[in-house]
């Protein structure tokens, strides 16, 4: 009997062992099967979800740390249709706070598109208004808990960033703006849009709020530090606005640049716009090139180009400061007669007198003596007709015609020498003239001073675009320009500082003919000439009180130069020279 029980026990033990082994084999098979992978993926999906995170847009500062463009939180306001209880109460509250039509809100809630469980009532709502609605919702929910009917159950608030410009319209032409889709337009906002916007990141995010610490931090976009001096920019805009009133001009531009490295210190234009209300762009501007005329609106600059013609003549050996010629009041070039601005003859003049009296005949004489090949080679090397490469979007190249072009005529060799028959932007003329102010070396104008990324600052080095003239020629011409201003007692002069500069008065072509009553008045100058630390360009469009640059643009330059000297803390010549002597 005992042996019978023993055999039964052995059989039972063996059977249970086989069953256990089968279970282990089955478990192993399931764990390594495709079905198991699906089960694991499903479990993972319950724990995590794939989401795209967009970084905050990089901020923009001036060179001294003043915030020019930042970010603020605004709100999307919507309704969760699954839990909404009183559409009328929501429509009333939102209508009163946001000024949106009551019936429109009610219709959105009661007649949503098929399949939607959430509808948006309004977006880009200021934090204060959203806060008011949130407080009202809280109050009504407390009343509802006490049995009072109504409430804003279902009203939802979702915050998100929006571009903010604390200085409103200040430097708007330089900065540009960002639309509600996050894209930059104009200025540095468009030029550096990719850097500022940063890189979106897709990550698996835990659905369990207790695991929120596992969410990957998305690096913000790159922060930009501009070369702009905020206080100098504000002063330039104020001086320009006052000049338009004083001289009854239709528009204007003032640009301040460091001629040693191309850093833009200020760039004021008209009109300007409040960047926080970018949707008014179409109301303020008719064409895109009006947003920043300093870089995007080429015009015939007139006599400021005489600086470049004289530089070419001196550098090529055609003339020296003491070279004289007999000014008879006219010269024949390409079968056309060119006259001086006042249609008078000036007799024997040297090259300084030529600049002082701004004689068209003198310049045409020099360009024809150089010949077309040499003259246009110099103008090309100065950068006329080319983009400067300034780091703002929307730059226009202007136009310099060459012999062989279908619309070039021999007379152009004469008229181009004094800035008519060609077009350029203020920033192009400044870049070209920087070769004179900067001892023969041309700088590339730029607005970016540094980039800040992950707590580290990367400064932008100065760039140079060549040396179209020698150092000797540049320094010689700067001295001649300073003397010419002093001899004529120019309204551009600044007491205590020697300034080099030149006026420009260009008649405006209308229907193929030049209008004697409408001009573009300009002035370009730099100083102090022994150590140039600023270059200023002034352009007034169609001034009505006087057509002459010497009576309009020159005094505006003088006022801007004085303000620049104060804000940049540049000592008078006598003090600086004493310091150097020690």
In which band, very low, low, confident or very high, does the pLDDT at 137 lie, cut at 50, 70 and 90? confident
Report the C-alpha gap between 114 and 387 in whole angstroms. 53
What pLDDT score was predicted for residue 91? 85
Question: Over the Cα atoms of the chain, what is R_g?
Answer: 36
Residue 65 has pLDDT above 50, yes or no: yes
Residue 252 has pLDDT above 60, yes or no: yes
The CATH H-level superfamily of 230-581 is DD-peptidase/beta-lactamase superfamily (3.40.710.10)
Token readout for 186 is 């104009």
Q: Residue 49: left if φ>0, alpha if ψ -120 to 50, beta else—which one? A: beta
What pLDDT score was predicted for residue 86? 83
SS3 23: helix
Higher per-residue confidence, 388 vs 182: 388
What pLDDT score was predicted for residue 160? 79
Mean pLDDT, to the nearest integer, of 46-71? 85
Residue 362 has pLDDT above 70, yes or no: yes
What pLDDT score was predicted for residue 538? 98
Residue 150 has pLDDT above 60, yes or no: no
Mean pLDDT, to the nearest integer, of 166-175? 96
The predicted-structure confidence for 492-536, as pLDDT tens digits, reads as follows 999 999 999 999 999 998 877 788 889 999 999 999 999 999 999
Token readout for 317 is 């050996």
In which band, very low, low, confident or very high, does the pLDDT at 6 lie, cut at 50, 70 and 90? low
As a dihedral over the C-alpha atoms of residue 92, residue 96, residue 97, residue 101, rounded to 10 degrees, the angle is 80
Token readout for 226 is 């501009």
Residue spans of beta strands (DSSP E) within 270-386: 324-327, 330-333, 336-339, 347-350
Mean pLDDT, to the nearest integer, of 277-293? 94
The predicted-structure confidence for 81-131, as pLDDT tens digits, reads as follows 888 888 888 888 888 888 888 888 888 888 888 878 888 888 888 888 888
What pLDDT score was predicted for residue 43? 46
What pLDDT score was predicted for residue 454? 85
Q: Which of 24-28, 56-60, 411-415 has the lowest mean pLDDT?
A: 24-28
What pLDDT score was predicted for residue 39? 44
Angle between helices 127-145 and 87-98 (to 10 degrees): 150
72-164 belongs to which CATH class? alpha beta
DSSP letter for 270, please: S
Report the C-alpha gap between 281 and 471 in whole angstroms. 45
Residue-range domain boundaries for the chain:
2-46, 72-164, 230-581
Report the C-alpha gap between 413 and 403 in whole angstroms. 9
* Average model confidence (pLDDT) across the chain: 88
CA 83 vs. chain centroid, Å, equals: 47
Q: Nearest-5° angle of CA 304, CA 305, CA 308?
A: 120
What pLDDT score was predicted for residue 139? 79
Report the C-alpha gap between 260 and 330 in whole angstroms. 38
Angle between helices 306-316 and 360-370 (to 10 degrees): 40
What pLDDT score was predicted for residue 37? 53
Report the share of the chain in percent with pLDDT over 70: 87
Residues 6+ apart with CB under 8 A from 371: none
Residue 302 has pLDDT above 50, yes or no: yes
Token readout for 344 is 């008078």
* Alpha carbon distances (Å) from 361 to 271, 340, 410, 547: 36, 6, 15, 20
Q: What is the DSSP string of 480-539?
A: HHHHHHHHTT-TT-BTTB--EEEEEEEEEEETTEEEEEEEEEEEEEEE-TTS--EEEEEE
């Amino acid at each position: 009997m005992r042996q019978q029980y023993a055999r039964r026990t052995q059989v039972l033990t063996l059977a249970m062992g086989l069953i256990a082994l089968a279970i282990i084999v089955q478990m192993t098979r399931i764990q390594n099967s495709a079905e198991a992978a699906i089960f694991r993926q499903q479990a993972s999906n319950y724990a995590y979800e794939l989401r795209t995170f967009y970084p905050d847009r990089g901020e923009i500062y001036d060179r001294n740390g003043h915030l020019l463009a930042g970010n603020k939180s605004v709100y999307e306001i919507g309704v969760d249709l699954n839990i909404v209880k009183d559409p009328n109460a929501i429509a009333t509250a939102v209508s009163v706070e946001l000024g949106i039509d009551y019936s429109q809100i009610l219709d959105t809630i009661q007649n949503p598109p098929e399949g939607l469980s959430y509808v948006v009532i309004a977006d880009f709502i200021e934090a204060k208004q959203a806060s008011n609605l949130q407080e009202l919702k809280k109050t009504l929910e407390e009343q509802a808990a006490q049995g009072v009917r109504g409430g804003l159950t279902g009203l939802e608030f979702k915050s998100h960033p929006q571009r903010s410009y604390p200085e409103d319209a200040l430097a708007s032409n330089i900065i540009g703006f960002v639309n509600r889709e996050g894209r930059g337009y104009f200025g540095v906002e468009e030029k550096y849009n990719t850097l500022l916007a940063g890189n979106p990141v897709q990550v698996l995010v835990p659905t369990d709020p207790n695991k929120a610490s596992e969410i990957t931090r998305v690096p913000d976009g790159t922060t930009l530090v501009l070369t702009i001096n905020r206080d100098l920019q504000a002063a330039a805009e104020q001086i320009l606005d006052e000049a338009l009133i004083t001289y009854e001009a239709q528009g204007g531009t003032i640009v301040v640049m460091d001629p040693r490295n191309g850093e833009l210190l200020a760039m004021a234009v008209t009109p300007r716009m409040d960047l926080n209300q970018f949707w008014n762009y179409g109301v303020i501007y008719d064409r895109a090139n009006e947003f920043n005329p300093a870089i995007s609106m080429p015009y015939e600059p007139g006599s400021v180009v005489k600086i470049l013609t004289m530089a070419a003549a001196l550098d090529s050996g055609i003339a020296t400061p003491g070279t004289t010629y007999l000014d008879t009041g006219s010269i024949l070039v390409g079968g056309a007669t060119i006259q001086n601005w006042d249609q008078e003859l000036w007799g024997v003049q040297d090259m300084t007198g030529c600049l002082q009296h701004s004689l068209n005949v003198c310049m045409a004489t020099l360009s024809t003596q150089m010949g077309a090949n040499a003259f246009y080679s110099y103008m090309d090397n100065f950068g006329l007709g080319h983009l400067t490469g300034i780091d703002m979007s929307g730059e226009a190249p202007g136009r310099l015609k060459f012999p062989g072009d279908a619309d070039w005529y021999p007379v152009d060799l004469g008229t181009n020498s004094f800035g008519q028959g060609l077009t350029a932007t203020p920033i192009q003329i400044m870049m070209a003239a920087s070769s004179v102010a900067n001892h023969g070396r041309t700088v590339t104008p730029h607005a970016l001073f540094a980039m800040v990324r992950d707590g580290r600052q990367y400064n932008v080095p100065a760039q140079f675009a060549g040396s179209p003239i020698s150092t000797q020629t540049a320094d010689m011409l700067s001295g001649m320009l300073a003397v010419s201003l002093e001899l004529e007692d120019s309204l551009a002069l600044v007491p205590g500082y020697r300034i080099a500069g030149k006026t420009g008065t260009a008649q405006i072509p209308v229907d193929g003919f030049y209008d004697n009553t409408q001009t573009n008045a300009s002035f370009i100058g730099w100083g102090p000439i022994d150590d140039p630390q600023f270059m200023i360009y002034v352009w007034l469009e169609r001034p009505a009180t006087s057509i002459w640059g010497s009576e309009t643009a020159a005094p505006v330059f003088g006022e801007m130069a004085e303000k620049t000297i104060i804000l940049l803390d540049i000592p008078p010549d006598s003090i600086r020279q004493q310091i150097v002597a020690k």
